[in-house]
A = this chain, B = another copy of it.
Amino acid sequence: MLHFSDTLDFKNKDIDVFAIGELLIDMISTNYGDNFHSNNYTKNFGGSTANIAMNVKRLGGNSAIAACVGRDGLGDFLIQHLEDNHIDTSYINRVDYSTSMVLVTKSKTTPIPIFYRGADYNLEYNTNLDLALKNCKIVHFSCWPISQKNSRNTIEKVILEARKNNVLIGFDPNYHDMIWEHGHDGIEYIRNLVSKVDIIKPSEVDAERIFGPDTPENHVNKFIALGAKLVIMTLGKDGAIVSNGIETITFETLATEIIDTTGAGDAFWSGFYTGIIKGYALKDALNLGFAVSAFKLKYVGAVANLPTIEEIKNIYNI
């Protein structure tokens, strides 16, 4: 049971947050507009999991990323970018498939990306990954690696090993049928996964994809009924509802200005995890997560140039 006043007790392990999954190229249109009418695109470092590793590092935590990229120039670029940001890249595999890419139209509405997956889902479980799971406090993954067979098998082993080693498991149920293996029931798979992780952070859109339309309160209860230990249901401008199955608390949004919503969820995870690691009570770590997310919303891009935790706390008076 995760109580809101609890602080989590971690053994002395080297890696605070071990992010596993997507490290890829976001190829973003230069001009606004839907349906890829733009002729010009810009190459960017990307992947939700990679962004979390970057943010945690900027907030003063120690992060590492396990991911798979191609033996190509784009793979070189991603690894170099991580190294420039002092993130351990020793858990990155390189394979003879193209480095995965997402093509995105810069849009003021919700753009539909085009997914080009190659290397990413070939992530293998190996002894290096196994050692990291004995030496990390938190492991994080999203729907990206579990959406395809090879990396899904890897994540299943990660979960088993994390449980054995008392590693806290955070899961982002950001289901999207366009990335899921054709013929594999992703919704059913996610429902079965809920009880096997510790923390789950659905958005309203995620919850609707998994359970169909319902109220946020009912969606939270459905995750709890499936065995979720902590559900952080984000509601955009309406803040969030968080439940541990006994208590449910609501959070008002801390956002004062919204320039770009890209990466706001990853910013939350980053602040929240950093709070937990610093020994904050769960409720205070949640507040730090929402504050980091609010800060990120004021800037363009998936990874904002985050200040220190102390500055964030001063800005948002938490």
Instruction: Name the B residues within 8 Å of A34 (CB-CB).
Output: 73
Residue interface bits A84-109, CB-to-B below 8 A is 1, else 0: 00000000000010110101010000
Q: Complex: how many Å from CA A182 to CA B114?
A: 24
Chain A's interface: helix, strand, loop or mixed, by majority? mixed
Stretch touching chain B among A11-19, A37-45, A273-281, A309-317: A37-45
Q: Is the CB of B37 within 8 A of A40?
A: no
Nearest CB on B from A187, distance (A): 17
Q: How many residues on chain A are close to B (CB under 8 Å)?
A: 30
Asked if A99 meets B114 with Cβ closer than 8 Å, knowing A39-B42, A40-B40, the reply is: yes
Q: Which residues of B contact A214 (CB under 8 A)?
A: none
- Report the minimal beta-carbon distance from A67 to chain B, rounded to whole angstroms: 17
Q: Which residues of B contact A41 (CB under 8 A)?
A: 27, 40-43
- A72's partner among B36, B40, B77 (CB-CB below 8 A) is B36
In the complex, whether A76 has a CB less than 8 A from a CB of chain B is yes
Distance in Å from the Cβ of A31 to the closest Cβ of chain B? 11
Give the shortest distance, in Å, between A297 (CB) and chain B (any CB): 25
Check if A301 is an interface residue, CB within 8 A of chain B. no
B77:A98 contact, CB within 8 angstroms: no
* Residues of A37-68 contacting chain B, CB below 8 A: 37-43
A70 neighbours in B (Cβ, 8 Å): 114
Within 8 Å of chain B (Cβ to Cβ): is A116? yes
Do B43 and A40 touch (CB < 8 A)?
Answer: yes
CB-defined contacts of A72 to chain B, threshold 8 Å: 36, 112, 114
Whether A118 is near chain B, meaning CB under 8 Å from some CB there, is yes
**Which chain B positions have C-beta within 8 A of A116?**
98, 101, 116, 118
Using known A-B contacts A27-B27, A116-B116, determine if residue A73 contacts B43 with beta carbons closer than 8 Å: no
In the complex, what's the smallest C-beta–C-beta distance from A64 to chain B, in angstroms? 25
A165 at the A/B interface (Cβ < 8 Å)? no
A312 to B24, CA, bound (A): 46
Bound CA–CA A162/B87 (angstroms): 57
Q: Does A76 lie within 8 Å of B114, measured CB to CB? A: no
Which residues of the partner chain B approach A40 to less than 8 Å between Cβ atoms? 30, 40-43
CB of A120, distance to nearest CB on chain B (Å):
12
A115 within 8 A of B: yes
Residues on A facing B (Cβ under 8 Å): 27, 30, 34-43, 70, 72-74, 76-77, 96, 98-99, 101, 103, 105, 112, 114-116, 118, 182
| 27 CB < 8 A contacts A-B | A30-B40, A34-B73, A35-B73, A36-B73, A36-B74, A36-B76, A36-B77, A37-B73, A38-B43, A39-B42, A39-B43, A40-B40, A40-B41, A40-B43, A41-B41, A41-B43, A70-B114, A72-B112, A73-B105, A73-B114, A74-B114, A96-B182, A98-B114, A99-B114, A101-B103, A101-B116, A116-B116
A-B pairs with lowest CB-CB distance, top 6 = A36-B73, A35-B73, A116-B116, A41-B41, A98-B114, A39-B43
